Structure 1
Amino acid sequence: MSAVTYPSAWHAAMDFAVAHGVDTVFGLPDDDLVPLRALEGTELRMVLCRDQRAAAFMAAGHALAAGRTALCVIGKGPAAANVVGGLLEARCSGAPMVVLASGTGARTRGSGAFQELDQLAMIAPVVKWAHRVDHPDRVVPAIERAFLVAANGAPGPVYLELPADLLDVEVVRDRPWHQPRAQHPQPDTEALAGSLVALRAARRPVILVGGGMRHRNGGGEVERLAERLGAPIFATASGRGAVDETHPLFCGLAGLYAAEEMLPLWAETDLVVALGSRLEETAVYRPGFSAPDVPVLQVNLEPVDISHERPGHVVIGDGLAAVRSWLTDLPERAARPELLERAELPAPTNEWSERAQAANRAAAERVATERQRVAELPGIHIADLLRVLDEVLPERRVLVQENGLQDMWSYFYPHWRVPAAADSIVPSEQTSLGFGAIAAAGVKLAVPGSAVVAFVGDGAFGKLGADLEVLVEQELGVLFVVLDNGGYGWLQAQLDKAGPSRYRFAGSPHGTGADRPGVHHAVVDDKTRLDKELRQAAAACAAGRVAVVEIPVRLDDVPADLTETEGEHS
């Protein structure tokens, strides 16, 4: 091929993005505006954010929903500082993204230049790879490497700095772009053989699906493994959306979010099969997890993500590859055509499978009873709100969640189910306040054909701030269901346990201030209006409008499963 000459490093980066299949860029560029000039003439969609953290959250949401690398563009100095929180969330969520940042040029570095900052030192601890390009000859390979690292191994964010002295220096590419793709390394055969022995020996196994299995279970292989083993399926919070939660063996979330009906299963299991989970604190919180001496068979792409707190086999490699290998070697103890069609489970293959299904039914009956009870009470209760949302939204929908006191209703099985056609985006163990509210914009761009609902508290919604206007400008039809308790409910709950205090984190609902041009807005405090108002909001979103439905809620409307632990975990 003949050489291609770009007027700047940013032009080369945007050309690579187009060639790599990137369709959207999130960010807030430096005041030199070269990144925007580099976007001219391309079909890339630029989402100009008001805040760099919002840009990173949106990019992370886009990456998690789409399953491919997202691109974010920022300036230097305070812009780089602002993006750190978003990079931290992306790293812990396993969201593949590349952040391209401006930086102080080599000729003025160390001279007290405007907005000079050692950005690499600040950002390196929270990304997979951080690099500064100081010569035009290094631009092409650095860009290719950034996207390769972001997508491979455990996916995550990469930071690439393009200093000011590359703004007006030509970059030459004398070869075709190398197109890095996400590869899924096969586990070691000896490790698989050892794990297979453990699976065959287990009589009461449990499968735990983590965020590392997102976009790695499209064929329902995990559910088939559960059927073969007669094993209940649990998910971590970040693992939601990786399995079909309407499957009869799905038993909800593990650890802190485990339903009471599932605790006997965790107490009696003799093997936990953990797929793509770091076994973070909330996932292994007792009693919603096995005893410390029960072996855990862990499968992860990265050795650093293996927990060494528990005994058991370790398999380094792709979780889907491991599951497929096991399916090849395990007997089909429960395979029938109607099972694979998810119509129903056949007669239980063993007592353990029967107990898991019984626990599933018992949990569903308890929640149905609770929903019926609150439906007859005055006022709107969150359990009832989730029921109405489930009825109003189409099957193709994504629930984007937060991790506050009352939006956690959606974590507890089975107040919100994720069927095969749906998805759920949940904050990582970092639970950055506002992540779900802001990431919903990126999610909507990744799955434009799905209804996207951000189920958030008023404190989290407030973090969206001026970037609500960005959603309006971009015609992103996201439905925000805002639970308004007047502040930060979780902190207020902890404060109340300590006795009277002159401080307040939450109280009377105070409104979101979302009543502005371009936003479909409603405050609903009458349950007889709930169905109608949510349907109108969903219709507005389908037409490309942002909708905000505020629900005033009480601080004592807390999931029963959480009340015994909320004072122990913060």
Structure 2
Amino acid sequence: MKGSDLLVECLENEKVEFVFQVPGEETLALTDSLGRSKRIKIITVRHEQAAAFMAGVYGRLTGRPGVCAATLGPGATNLATGIADANVDRAPLLALTGQAALEHFHKEYHQYVDVVSILRPITKWNTRLYKADTIPEAITKAFRTAEAEKPGSCHLEIPEDIADQASRATPIPRIAGPEQPRPTTSQIEQAAQLLNKSKAPLILAGNGIIRARATGPFRKFLVEAKIPVAHTFMGKGALPDNDPLSLYAIGLPSQEIVSKAFELADLIIAIGYDLVEYAPSIWNPHNDKTIIHVDSTNAEVDMNYQPSIQLVGHIGETLTILTGQIKARSTNFAKSVRDSILAEASARSEDEAYPLKPQRILHDLRKAMNHEDIVVSDVGDHKLWISRLFPTYEPNTVLISNGYASMGIGIPGAIAAKLVHSQRRVVAACGDGGFLMTAHELETAHRLGVNIVAVVFHDNAYGSIKRKQLARFGRTSGVDFGNPDFVKLAEAFGVKGYHPQRASEFLPLLESALEQRETSVIDVPVDYS
């Protein structure tokens, strides 16, 4: 068989469901082979960046690499932002890019750039294929590398002559990966002693808990230990926010209510914590906190993150072993902090002001959605409100890009979430800046027949930057812009568009949109002041 057919057989062997792609001349053979597959569905999008965003969100939700594909040159470089986003946010992804035939590599050639070198710094591993017979090894290595903790992006470049080259190779059978190590009995005992001696321990819960599918053991541990929990933005849902131990999420570089709990704590148990989300220098500025590191990998080196003990292994197994060795606490030192957070979350949540207050939008959004429905937040001022104050009850139900924090992920991410969880309702929460970066994917949603709802927080500005300019300089520059009529824009893409004229209209419009079988856009004027 030819190389492209072999590659598709290898993808089928890895149980790939979708390939998110924009077709190109140097991927003609690959696209043709994919089109003949009975197991893989091609998801054609309108921009390669969206293809990579979709693959990343697929990987985050399933734990298996999402696959995206593009042609050489501009097609490949357009994937870069989404590839980097998945790599920094720890989502498994495989990018496939076409390339000119090998015979052209020694000279200038149309659209040729060294894509492998360009993408190497933003992937865990990447390579160029020089022989079709190596495809099974390359695919297997890419999938294993992308999936391994900490997950991330891999990339394979397939020159067009290799895609057409004959091969007798076959896919490599899937085998179970290696078991993760377990902490020693001595390490568990040391950690238990530190916890039991602590007067005010606090858990910092990161996305690693969710990646490890360890929310069950984590919650059982807390039933015994009774230790308050602050989530990172990407760790939301590890503990339900209606649990008295939840302090919602922390992640702002400036002072916020939950920071008080870190000030009061004498010991921090960082579980599945990725430093890229929230720097230790912010929550441990004096480097005076005792730290227990619980994760699948060793702690990153950081002057403000020097654990006294590291429990490295499968997070769920570690917590299961630790459960029962921790003395339950009769009081919650952070109760007043939680009370203040709840007061902030409820303040103005029923405000009738127009434009709407963000608290009102979040209140109505939460009221309209079930606990297992999914919100994919784009990046902007609204993200900070969602991250900190939107109540979350289950893992992977509020998806936030907070490592790379890339604008434009909202609409593509929501489409991918709906493809993975077709029975759940999915909302893309977007600022007007991020929305227009990938609004063209509304056509993709319409063509696929997926019913997502895009809620656009409309304030005619890059709001988070505007706020920071005002705080720092007392003036703004380069942050204001105009917008099209979002209702008419939605209708031009063949989807529904709505614009509430008063605060009380938003909830019924949202509830109606969520029940429909087609994609909708709700343009919501917002006042962050």
Q: 2:10 aligns with which of 13, 16, 19?
A: 16
Partner of 2:316: 320
Structure 1 stretches (4+) deviating beyond 6 angstroms?
Answer: none
Residues 1:247 and 2:243 aligned together? yes
Report the Cα distance in structure 2 between the residues aligned to 1:231 and 1:487, rounded to whole angstroms. Answer: 40
**Alpha-carbon separation, structure 2, partners of 1:534 and 1:285:** 40
1:303-345 deviation per Cα after TM superposition (whole angstroms, max 9, x unaligned): 4745453332223332222212211x515x55xxxxxxxxxxx
In structure 2, what is the equivalent of residue 547 of structure 1? Answer: 520
Of the three residues 387, 392, 401, the one matched with 2:363 is 387
The within-5 A match list for 1:270-419 is 270-280=266-276, 282=278, 284=280, 286=282, 291-303=286-298, 305=300, 307-312=302-307, 313-327=309-323, 330-331=325-326, 333-334=327-328, 349-351=329-331, 353=332, 355-372=333-350, 374-375=351-352, 377-412=353-388, 415-419=389-393
Which residue identity does 2:392 align to in structure 1?
A: V
Find the aligned partners of 1:233 and 1:199 in 2 and give their Cα distance.
Answer: 14
Normalised TM-score (structure 2): 0.92
Asked whether the 8 Å contact 2:70–2:76 carries over to 1, the reply is yes
Work out the CA distance in 1 between the residues paired with 2:405 and 2:369: 26
Residue 185 of structure 1 corresponds to which residue in structure 2? 180
Q: Provide the C-alpha distance between the structure 2 equivalents of 1:491 and 1:303, rounded to a whole number of angstroms.
A: 35
- 1:264 corresponds in structure 2 to 260
Which residue is equivalent to 2:427?
A: 453
Q: Cα distance, 1:171 vs. partner? A: 2.1
Q: Give the Cα–Cα distance (whole angstroms) in 2 for the partners of residues 126 and 517 of structure 1.
A: 33
Displacement, 1:357? 3.8
Determine whether 1:113 maps to 2:93. Answer: no
Letter in 2 for 1:112: E
Segment of structure 1 superposing worse, 315-324 or 22-31: 315-324
Structure 2 contact 54–66 (Cα < 8 Å) conserved: no
Structure 1, 111-120 or 360-369: larger mean CA deviation: 360-369
Aligned to 1:159, what secondary structure does the other structure show?
strand
Q: Secondary structure at the match of 1:280?
A: coil
What's the CA shift for 1:38?
0.8
Q: Summarize the Cα distance change of 1:517–1:54 in structure 2 as closer, same or farther, 3 Å threshold.
A: closer
1:70 matched to 2:66: yes
Label 1:308 to 1:68 Cα distance change in 2 as closer, same or farther (>3 A).
Answer: farther
Contact 2:299 2:310 in 1 (8 A): no
Segment drifting more, 360-369 vs 383-392? 360-369
Are the structure 2 counterparts of residues 470 and 358 from structure 1 closer, same or farther at C-alpha, using a change threshold of 3 Å?
Answer: same
Q: How does 1:458-537 map to 2 (within 5 A)?
A: 458-497=432-471, 498-500=473-475, 503-506=477-480, 510-512=484-486, 513-537=489-513
After superposition, the Cα gap between the structure-2 partners of 1:17 and 1:260, relative to the gap in structure 1 and judged at 3 Å, is: same
Cα distance in 2, alignment partners of residues 223 and 358 from structure 1:
22
Counterpart-to-counterpart distance in 1, 2:224 and 2:254: 23
The residue type equivalent to 2:523 in the other structure is E
Aligned letter for 1:12?
L
Mark the CA change 1:217 to 1:139 in structure 2 (over 3 Å): closer, same or farther.
closer
Structure 2 CA distance, aligned partners of 1:52 and 1:330? 50
The reply on whether 1:154 has 2:154 as its aligned counterpart is no
Q: Give the Cα separation in 1 of the matches to 2:404 and 2:117.
A: 21
Is 1:37 paired with 2:32?
yes
Q: How does 1:101-180 map to 2 (within 5 A)?
A: 101-173=97-169, 177-179=172-174
Classify the secondary structure of the residue corresponding to 2:31: helix
- Greater Cα shift, 48-57 or 435-444: 435-444
How many angstroms apart in 2 are the aligned matches of 1:213 and 1:500? Answer: 42
Partner SS state of residue 164, structure 2: coil
How far apart, in 2, do the equivalents of 1:81 and 1:111 lie? 20
What is the match of residue 346 of structure 1?
none
Deviation at 1:289, TM superposition (A): 5.7
Instruction: Give 3-state SS (helix, strand or coil) of 1:277's partner.
Output: coil
CA-to-aligned-CA distance 1:508-544 (integer Å, 9 cap, x gap): 765433232421111123112112211121112xx1x
How many residues are paired up? Answer: 522
Distance 1:359 1:450, change over 3 A: same
- For residues 357 and 501 of structure 2, what CA distance do their matches in structure 1 show? 10
**Does the residue aligned with 2:293 lie in a helix, a strand or coil?**
strand
Provide, for residues 247-292 of structure 1, a one-character-per-residue CA deviation record: whole Å limited to 9, x for no partner.
2211111242899553432112111111121223635464x66752
User: Residue type matched to 2:104 in 1?
Assistant: T
CA distance in 2, matches of 1:369, 1:458: 24
Judged with a 3 Å threshold, the aligned counterparts in structure 2 of structure 1 residues 49 and 394 are, in CA distance, closer, same or farther, namely same
Q: Which amino acid aligns with 1:35?
A: L
Q: Are 1:299 and 1:316, in contact at CA under 8 Å, matched by a contact in 2?
A: yes
Q: Distance in 2 between matches of 1:54 and 1:383?
A: 29
| Whole-angstrom distance in 2 between the partners of 1:290 and 1:231 | 22
Three-state SS of the structure 1 residue aligned to 2:514 is helix
* Contact 1:58 1:438 (C-alpha < 8 Å) held by counterparts: yes
Cα displacement (A) at 1:505: 1.4
> Which amino acid in 2 is paired with 1:350?
S
Contact 2:455 2:521 in 1 (8 A): yes
Q: RMSD over aligned Cα, in angstroms?
A: 2.5
Provide the rounded CA distance (Å) in 1 between the counterparts of 2:227 and 2:285. Answer: 14
Residue by residue, what CA displacement relative to the aligned partner does 1:336-363 show, whole Å, maximum 9, x if unpaired?
xxxxxxxxxxxxx323x2x334432443
The AA in structure 2 aligned to 1:61 is V
Letter in 1 for 2:499: V
CA displacement, residues 450-489 of structure 1 (integer Å, 9 cap, x when unaligned): 1111111000000114222111111121111001111311
Contact residue 205 and residue 272 of structure 2 kept, 8 A: yes
User: Contact 1:277–1:300 at 8 Å: present in 2 too?
Assistant: yes
Q: Per-residue deviation at 1:56?
A: 0.4
d(CA) in 1 for partners of 2:221, 2:525: 43
Contact kept in structure 1, 2:377 and 2:399, CA below 8 Å: yes
| Separation (CA, whole Å) in 1 of partners of 2:210 and 2:394 | 13
For the Cα contact (< 8 Å) 1:509–1:552, is it kept in 2? no
Structure 1: how far apart are the matches of 2:153 and 2:317?
24
Q: Check whether the contact 1:235–1:254 (CA below 8 A) recurs between aligned residues.
A: yes
Q: TM-score, normalised by structure 1?
A: 0.85
Contact 1:216/1:242 (8 A) holds in 2: no
Distance in 2 (alpha carbons) for counterparts of 1:27 and 1:509: 28
